[in-house]
Amino acid sequence: MILDEVKWGIIGCGDVTEVKSGPPLQLTPHSTLVAVMRRNGALAEDYAKRHNVPRWYNDADELINDPEVNAVYIATPPDAHLEYAVKAMRAGKAVYVEKPMARTFAECEKMIRVSNETGVPLYSAYYRRTLPAFLKVKELVDSGSVGSIRLVNVRFYSPPENDSDSQVAPWRYRPEISGGGLLFDLASHTLDFLDFIFGSIEKIKATALNQANLYAAEDLVMANWIHDSGIAGTGTWCFATSDKNNLDEVEIIGDQGRIIFSTFKSVPVVLENRSGRQEYPFERPKHVQSYLMAKIVSALRGQGESPSTGVTGARTNLVMDEMVKNYYHKE
């Protein structure tokens, strides 16, 4: 599937599309945003007017069947990703789907199967694979700056949101919508990036718990794993700490030093080795999905490849399913 110009339609033009992802659809060369959809027609119309989008819909099928739209960005909560992705691909429209790619690995597999059957490309929105700070981490690893990699440690601690009651919680706290808790919404970014630099995550041993009982989803996950490259990994994610215990740190340990970086905080990438300590500061881009969008548009025009695809996104879902299966009794 080769497109001369990529003409996007957004299904689910909510907050994530206001700055992070919507503008790159319009700012990337050979890419335009021609239609948006939201179930609330008034909100869809408002978004279209503010972002100078020609058409708006309150029905996803109408957007998918819009003859001018040749690529669909699905930015709804995960419970709708499978349905809309399948419909769009069967209509011959390329699909770019938000993360997590779906609620389960099984849903991801169905999406990939339709992509293979139709020949329509499927991409996932793990944009850290293209951000300069994260590419610096990969460069430091690949260049041998800390020698042979032995281990990666992930530690992420954060307080719960104040409105995390199970009856009114945002979708990311509701397993029937998200597939799990904040592991699926937040930790997925880290796990996907580690897959990018070290290869797929395998041989997982993990425990998921709900300690604070603030909502239905897990709020603590402890995991050990091995990448297919042989590198070991450990991770602890706690989403029910105090605000004084906030921590977002990934530590890559080699036999000659270590690299430290953050998944979400705009702090320098740190290199410590025999030459001393170096810091590499990076500014967070205003539109964080712009780098990945440029790759996807180029791929759709037959001029390159995207580092984030349905296949890579599905691997992260498989890892998360394994990490929480004791809590949800997933098979």
Give the closest residue to 185 by CA, choosing from 173, 168, 198, 167: 173
User: Quick one: pLDDT at residue 169?
Assistant: 79
| CA 110 to chain CA mean position, Å | 18
User: Quick one: pLDDT at residue 170?
Assistant: 86
* C-alpha distances in Å from residue 226, one per residue of 235, 314, 331: 12, 18, 20
330: confidence class by pLDDT, cuts 50, 70, 90? low
* pLDDT tens digits along 182-198: 999 999 999 999 999 99
**Structure-block tokens of residue 50:** 């503010």
Dist. CA 292–CA 42, nearest whole Å:
30
Q: Determine what percent of the chain falls in helix, strand and coil, rounding each to the nearest 5.
A: 35, 25, 40
Dist. CA 282–CA 266, nearest whole Å:
7
Give the closest residue to 21 by CA, choosing from 308, 331, 318: 308
Give the closest residue to 124 by CA, choosing from 319, 318, 308, 316: 308
Residue 199, Ramachandran bin (φ over 0: left; ψ between -120 and 50: alpha; else beta)? left
Decide if 185 contacts 172 (C-beta within 8 A). Answer: yes
How many percent of the chain have pLDDT more than 70?
97
Assess whether pLDDT exceeds 50 at residue 167.
Answer: yes
* pLDDT tens digits along 13-66: 999 999 999 999 999 999 999 999 999 999 999 999 999 999 999 999 999 999
Which one-letter DSSP state was computed for residue 288?
T
Look up the pTM and report it.
Answer: 0.95
Residue 310's SS3 state is helix
User: Largest alpha-carbon pair distance within the chain?
Assistant: 60
Neighbours of 270 (CB within 10 A): 17
Decide if 253 contacts 153 (C-beta within 8 A). Answer: yes
* pLDDT tens digits along 200-248: 999 999 999 999 999 999 999 999 999 999 999 999 999 999 888 899 9
Assess whether pLDDT exceeds 70 at residue 90.
Answer: yes
Give the closest residue to 185 by CA, choosing from 213, 221, 133: 221
Mean pLDDT, all residues of the chain: 95
Dist. CA 219–CA 329, nearest whole Å:
16
* pLDDT tens digits along 260-282: 999 999 999 999 999 999 999 99
Give the closest residue to 31 by CA, choosing from 44, 18, 40, 22: 22
Assess whether pLDDT exceeds 60 at residue 164.
Answer: no
How many percent of the chain have pLDDT more than 90?
92
Can you list the domains of the chain with their CATH numbers? 6-126+288-309 (3.40.50.720), 132-284 (3.30.360.10)
Pairing verdict, β 94-97 and 122-124: parallel
Question: Listing from the earlier edge strand, what are the strands of the sheet with 6-11?
Answer: 55-57, 31-37, 6-11, 71-74, 94-97, 122-124
Dist. CA 198–CA 231, nearest whole Å:
7
User: Quick one: pLDDT at residue 309?
Assistant: 98
User: Quick one: pLDDT at residue 243?
Assistant: 86
* pLDDT tens digits along 115-128: 999 999 999 999 99
Give the closest residue to 89 by CA, choosing from 103, 110, 75, 106: 110
User: Quick one: pLDDT at residue 294?
Assistant: 98
Assess whether pLDDT exceeds 60 at residue 165.
Answer: no
